[in-house]
Amino acid sequence: MIITRVETFAVPPRWLMCRVETDQGIVGWGEPVVEGRAATVRTAVHELAELLVGRDPMRIEDHWQVMTKGSFYRGGPVLSSAVAGLDQALWDIAGKALGVPAHVLLGGPVRDRVRAYSWVGGDEPADVADAVAAQVEAGFSAVKMNACGRMNRLATTREIDGMVDRAAAVREVLGPDRDFAVDFHGRFTVANARKVLPHLAPFNPLFAEEAVLPEYTSRLGELVTGSPVPIATGERLYSRTDVLPALQAGVAVLQPDLSHAGGISEVRRIAVLAETFDVLLAPHCPLGPVSLAASLQIAFSTPNFLIQEQSIGIHYNHGAEVLDYVVDPAVFRFHDGCFLRPTAPGLGIEVDEKAVRAADGSRADWRSPLWRHSDGSFAEW
């Protein structure tokens, strides 16, 4: 079997899909994208495709090595995401060629179902209690929310009180048997995180995500030591070497993204590395169906897995939904807030190729919001 063609499709709401075709009629799908930089990654995918066309798709590890290291300049979000999507497609092809799901090739399932969480609230969360109640009603046992909106570099009393009030309201709705996690989107300084997190601790969040930006990972150890809330990070780390300092700093939860961190091949290795630090995996996935399918293949085959992010019905998907691009959405149906094990070969989904081709190009220009503080200076989104 040889790879004959690599195509890409930029589709709403902000995703890029790649389709890898072989001479045997087997097709693999991947989702190589950086949110807001779909066109940039698309170019990188086609440059990397030169290394794949005419080659045996079953040599996944060799392709990963060559795509990642076969250029003098390597790593970072754009290149690692381009490799990630192509790697997903190769695992999809391998599974389909052998007639088994990718997680069987990774050693087989280690659990029967995968716990997932839903997002509640928007970027400036207000009354989240009703949104949490709706998720509980839908059967979820965990939710995640932004802890804060735009905020001062050192939080005011009003800002801290607002966060505490929301956490209290959410815990009240969830009761003692369900979880909530809080995402800070790197909006805090280290000092601000140390100031704020003890106030949230009484409400027992599952974890606090990206309290500080990955640029400040060298100071993550101080935060871990000073925070009673478990610290999570990783959606903006792209390789084993990127996550190592965070693991050494003592984070509790690592959140690699299957579409950013080198795909199934590298996230598998990141999971194993995390296991040696007694750290749990909660793969980041605010993306589309292929990325989610790849995440589930890792979730079902990773012993130190905690919980899966997913964006079905999320507040910021406009123009299309996760389920719009799969032939049979039943594979993503929730059962008591969990995904059941996908049994179809490869990534376990059938991409709706007609829908993907029809949507190509219509919304590739999504951009991250640009925020400013009240004094006009740049603010982290």
Examine residue 31 and tell whether it contacts Mg ion (CB under 5 A): no
Name all contacts of 214-217 with Cβ < 8 Å and 24+ positions apart. Answer: 214/186, 214/242, 214/246, 216/190, 217/245, 217/246, 217/249
Residue 35 lies near Mg ion (rule: CB under 5 A): no
Task: Check 63, 185, 315, 335 and give the catalytic one.
Answer: 185
Residue 63 among the catalytic residues? no
**Closer by beta carbon to Mg ion, 309 or else 324:** 309
- Using CB under 5 A as the binding rule, the residues of this chain from 325 to 364 that contact Mg ion are none
- Could you say which residues in the range 53-82 bind Mg ion, by CB under 5 A? none
CB of 210 to Mg ion, least distance (A): 5
Number of residues lying near Mg ion (CB under 5 A) = 1
CB nearer Mg ion, residue 64 or residue 119: 119
Let me know: does 94 contact 60? Beta carbons within 8 Å. Answer: yes
Of 283 and 289, the one with the shorter C-beta distance to Mg ion is 283
227 within 8 A of 194, measured Cβ to Cβ: yes
Site for Mg ion in 181-200 (CB under 5 A): 183
Measured from the CB atom, the residue of 18 and 279 that comes closer to Mg ion is 279
Does residue 309 bind Mg ion (CB under 5 A)? no
Question: Could you say whether residue 324 binds Mg ion (CB under 5 A)?
Answer: no
Residue carrying structure tokens 């993550």: 220
Q: Which of 284, 315, 318, 335 is catalytic?
A: 284
Does residue 335 have an active-site annotation? no
Contacts of 358 (CB under 8 A, 6+ apart): none
The answer to whether 258 touches 231, Cβ cutoff 8 Å, is no
Q: How far is the CB of 119 from Mg ion (least distance, A)?
A: 10
Whether the CB-CB separation of 254 and 220 falls below 8 Å is answered with no
Answer yes or no: are the C-beta atoms of 80 and 260 closer than 8 Å.
Answer: yes
Site string for Mg ion, 164-183 (x = CB under 5 A): -------------------x
Residue nearest to Mg ion (CB): 183
Q: Looking at beta carbons, which pairs linking 38-43 to residues 24 or more positions away fall under 8 Å? A: 38/10, 38/14, 38/364, 38/366, 39/10, 39/364, 39/365, 40/78, 41/16, 41/78, 41/81, 41/82, 41/85, 42/8, 42/10, 42/16, 42/364
Q: What is the 3-state secondary structure (H, E, C) of 80-141?
A: HHHHHHHHHHHHHHHHHHHCCEHHHHCCCCCCCEEEEEEEECCCCCCCHHHHHHHHHHCCCC
Minimal distance, residue 17 CB to Mg ion, in Å: 22
**Closer by beta carbon to Mg ion, 21 or else 210:** 210
With binding defined as CB under 5 A, does residue 266 bind Mg ion?
Answer: no
* Least distance to Mg ion, CB of residue 216, Å: 15
Closest CB to Mg ion among residues 183, 242: 183
Residues near Mg ion (CB under 5 A) are: 183
> Annotated catalytic sites, by residue?
185, 284
